[in-house]
Amino acid sequence: MSYVKINGIEYLNVIDDPVWNSKRQILSEQRLNIPGVQTIGRTMSETNIAPLSPHVHKDCNEIVYVVSGSQQYSIKGENYVVHGNQLFIAPPSIPHSSGDKPHGRYDIYMIKLYSEYKSGFLGMSETYGKLLHSAIFSVKDLIISPAENLKHKFDKMFYHLSQNDLLDNLQGKIILQELLLDICMSIKEENKAVSPTVSSAINYIATNITEEISLEYLAMYSGLSLSRFKQRFRDEMGISPREYVNVKKVEKAKELLASGKNITDTAFELSFSSSNYFSVVFKKVTGMSPKEYLKNKLKE
């Protein structure tokens, strides 16, 4: 056990040991081998247990997803009650506990991420890895209520990551990326309005996703100079317009590939100049080639 001194008080620094039984299942950093992830786990209890004493997760945030039951957390004198299909995010190195209340019956998942960016975060490219890492650690809300039920995604992610198979692990890693992106986007949709100018560009992209989309035309369509359009789009969306177009084209490509279209036909249907360039963009966005994606889909 290790301790961290904060404001003159020593707190237990909790790093979960790998374990696997009917009530507690922990995948360690060594087992996961995913850059930026310390542990991922699931714990369950059918009875009340003693309150959690004050502790920290040094240099990590802890994302807790409550599948069922409820949890109480206490941070800086404030109590927070988290119910089913809600998330609680404990910031890095901040003491927290369950106050003076025992933990009731519960079923939870937890993910611990390092606050310092690690190259290849979650197996993503540097551009998107840094973007997602920054977005996660910019979240200020301690409790998040997602619009959709995330249990299925958490179940599927944890199952695939716990298997002794590289393709299964790859699938789990992709779902983990999607989960973290879901969290960031749900907060963004709640807290950040998009201007009519950028909204019109987004609608144009959605309507014309199979066409070749030039930034010059998008800027003109939005009534802005190219440089001003690029800046405003990045300011409001947190991503450049070209990156956004590529992400949306890759989302459409996944649909086409899953429906049975081959890679070459998909590339040309989405107006890529060649199947090779399509593969480069696909891998930059998803961290895998279209061939790897199709192999993974066949395995599901």
Buried b (16+ CB within 10 A) or exposed e, 147-185: eeebbebbebbbebbbeeeeebbbbbbbbbbebbebbbe
- As beta bridge partners, residue 46 has none
Express each pLDDT in 238-267 by its tens digit. Answer: 678 998 899 899 989 998 998 999 999 999
For the chain, the domains span 2-190, 194-299
Residues 184 and 139: their CA atoms lie apart, in Å, by: 7
Mean pLDDT by 10 residues, the chain (300 residues): 85 92 95 97 80 88 89 81 86 84 76 96 93 90 82 96 96 95 74 73 91 94 92 81 91 91 95 94 85 75
Q: What is the pLDDT of residues 124-141, one digit of tens each?
A: 999 999 999 999 998 888
- Give the Cα separation of 197 and 13 in Å (integer): 47
The C-alpha angle 158, 84, 34, rounded to 5 degrees, equals 25
CATH number for the region 194-299 comes to 1.10.10.60
The pair of three-digit structure tokens given for residue 242, joined into one six-digit string? 């070209």
Report pLDDT for 208.
Answer: 93
**CATH number corresponding to 2-190:** 2.60.120.10
pTM assigned to the model: 0.63
Q: If you compute the radius of gyration of the chain from its CA atoms, what whole number of angstroms results?
A: 21
> To the nearest whole number, what is the mean pLDDT of the chain?
88
State how beta strands 86-90 and 78-83 pair: unpaired
